[in-house]
Structure 1
């Protein structure tokens, strides 16, 4: 867990003590968690991703066991004006990275009140003697100019395209999602619906569970996912205890705030497809989907997706955020719209930085030498 004691080479100040008007600091893992949580949640109003929230960071605890963690912050008076949680594995070759990025493969970013506050982090980035690897951040992130400044004269910076994050911009037309597709697709939808109805009574629901209802419904949802190809692939929540603990904590916190949403397609009362998501910043964020392979012929995941889009448009939400990556089944079927992302790596002029640069350079050279498919 990230807590709140200053650890920036100077004496530690209590959170309530006077602080310089603008100051970069590294908040260590002891101190006042309530103050930190309140400050973090205040900054979330300007965030772009639910992965930037304090609830997300707090739920990561079991996934980061054994990692060294730092919280890079800018303090303005007695408040936090910018923050970025980073971590790294033990070992001399380990790189700093955004907390949770490797474990969950979702995009993230710096939280800050403004560009000037982000810029104040430059000194902290300059102090990192190990390379920093940010696998997916927005292409227009305020981290980019900060890192360029931090590396000037002290190392190299690599910025390359990363898998974008797919999304669907919602408007009134999505209240009838089938109408957004051509005649062939609409025919496919009707055929799938008839096949589902031939198996029993079909119902759809999008629920806002209370904390008391949460665990039973969450267990039902991950049980659906476990009856899919994801179990054998090892990506089902139910087969990974640590990831299950993360999602249970994260979504339970969202349920406590009334933000968690759980959708089911049921046939004769049995859940055969599910979606786990939340409402945040006026958007629907889809984290997990799954369907029971026994019902695959009626395309339950597609039918539930149509329901979820119809429901989200009816709530007048701005967009339907699919998270993950722009896989072929998304771009060919649902949307080609996305948030552009980049992969950023720093190589400070230190032994660790030069070793990382040589290692990455060898990989890039090998990739360039491989024959391309015609």
Structure 2
């Protein structure tokens, strides 16, 4: 059933997420930090499945008279339903689609998640659309770190060597990762968010610092993550001064690289690329970590390093064949036009347009 977010659900949900190896973004602590920061706590609901009295499936949603949606905005890295097994995913899908009075809108879900597959199967001939939200790259960090350069193109290997040499010639280079428990978390975040607030991002309104709600989210989420032992704040420093920042989360076999910041005054030293390479080395050095999840779009520098991509999709199932067909065709046409237009834009331009869209939506 779809129900308000009951405090008594939090602990069983978190335990199920950890037991099933779900991504850190599936945990209720992360999601409630998002909901509180963006004023969505009262809208948040949970679709649950129990078996023999035990929780076996959870999908966070917002429910209205015309649609059931996953709770997303521009700061959503991933929506990860939690399911104990394929049967739990199938039951969640059946319950979700039983609400035929409105559209079911699953956004920011993995294309190959058991629930996504179950919703596709359960929808049958009902009109539906599925569009790719992003293809997120990831780097395999299992095995021997010494073999990693051989996976890269010759140009990328030489480029990394040139940047490393240039950086070393500029001063003393250091790299550190903080867990935020016994340190001044507020000061670390201030330093990191200063680097994330690049000039063009501030102009576009897409920097974290551009929005009090975003600052609140990443601050509250960092506090939760530090308490949960999953926060990793990475800094690349030159002569003691931070020139690049990574807001990361590490849980189980995955190190998620969520937000990148860098000092544009040192752009010629490639701080963004170099901190990414440092995080790859850091992941290799930890036996329990088997991948660095770069998240977001598969930009060229990420693609050069990546071992593969994971598709996030938006899957919409419409309430009736007649209305659904019209909606589906219109949605597909708009999506095709948007995809073609976005493909021709630079990264900063995409950020500016996204920020404008978000302001208009608010």
The alpha-carbon distance between structure 1 residues 357 and 211, as it changes in their structure 2 partners (threshold 3 A), is farther
Q: Is the 8 A contact 2:140 2:307 kept in 1?
A: no
Which residue of 2 is the match for residue 263 of structure 1? 234
| Runs (5+) with no aligned partner, structure 1 | 1-24
Which residue of 2 is the match for residue 281 of structure 1? 252
The alpha-carbon distance between structure 1 residues 67 and 130, as it changes in their structure 2 partners (threshold 3 A), is farther
Which residue of 2 is the match for residue 58 of structure 1? 32
Deviation at 1:363, TM superposition (A): 2.8
Which residue of 2 is the match for residue 15 of structure 1? none
Write out the 4+ residue segments of structure 1 that deviate beyond 6 Å after TM superposition.
Answer: 365-370
Which residue of 1 is the match for residue 348 of structure 2? none
Paired residues, what number?
A: 339
Which residue of 1 is the match for residue 110 of structure 2? 138
Question: 3-state SS of the aligned residue for 1:323?
Answer: coil
1:339 is the counterpart of 2:302 = no
Q: Is the 8 A contact 1:211 1:252 kept in 2?
A: no
Question: 3-state SS of the aligned residue for 2:50?
Answer: strand
Q: Show the 5 A alignment for 1:151-300.
A: 151-152=123-124, 155-174=126-145, 177-178=148-149, 180-210=151-181, 212-300=183-271
The alpha-carbon distance between structure 1 residues 363 and 194, as it changes in their structure 2 partners (threshold 3 A), is closer
Q: Is the 8 A contact 1:72 1:83 kept in 2?
A: yes
- Decide which structure has greater helix share: 2
1:79 is the counterpart of 2:54 = yes
1:131-152 Cα shifts (integer Å, max 9, x gaps):
1222332222222354245535
1:38 is the counterpart of 2:11 = yes
Question: 3-state SS of the aligned residue for 1:120?
Answer: helix
Question: 3-state SS of the aligned residue for 1:229?
Answer: helix
**Distance in 1 between the 2:338 and 2:203 partners?**
30
Tell me which moved more, 62-71 or 305-314. Answer: 62-71
2:298 to 323, 326, 331: 326
Work out which structure has the larger RCO, using CA pairs closer than 8 Å and 6 or more positions apart in sequence: 2
Deviation at 1:312, TM superposition (A): 0.8
The alpha-carbon distance between structure 1 residues 359 and 211, as it changes in their structure 2 partners (threshold 3 A), is farther
The alpha-carbon distance between structure 1 residues 280 and 368, as it changes in their structure 2 partners (threshold 3 A), is closer
| Larger radius of gyration between Structure 1 and Structure 2 | 1
Deviation at 1:244, TM superposition (A): 1.7
Tell me which moved more, 350-359 or 262-271. Answer: 350-359
Question: 3-state SS of the aligned residue for 2:127?
Answer: strand
The alpha-carbon distance between structure 1 residues 356 and 194, as it changes in their structure 2 partners (threshold 3 A), is same
Deviation at 1:67, TM superposition (A): 7.0
The alpha-carbon distance between structure 1 residues 303 and 103, as it changes in their structure 2 partners (threshold 3 A), is closer
Deviation at 1:288, TM superposition (A): 0.6
RMSD over equivalenced CA pairs, Å = 3.1
Q: Is the 8 A contact 2:128 2:328 kept in 1?
A: no
1:101-155 Cα shifts (integer Å, max 9, x gaps):
x3324232321112222222313421252212223322222223542455357x4
The alpha-carbon distance between structure 1 residues 329 and 366, as it changes in their structure 2 partners (threshold 3 A), is closer
Question: 3-state SS of the aligned residue for 1:340?
Answer: strand
Q: Is the 8 A contact 2:131 2:335 kept in 1?
A: no
- Structure 2 length normalisation: TM-score? 0.82
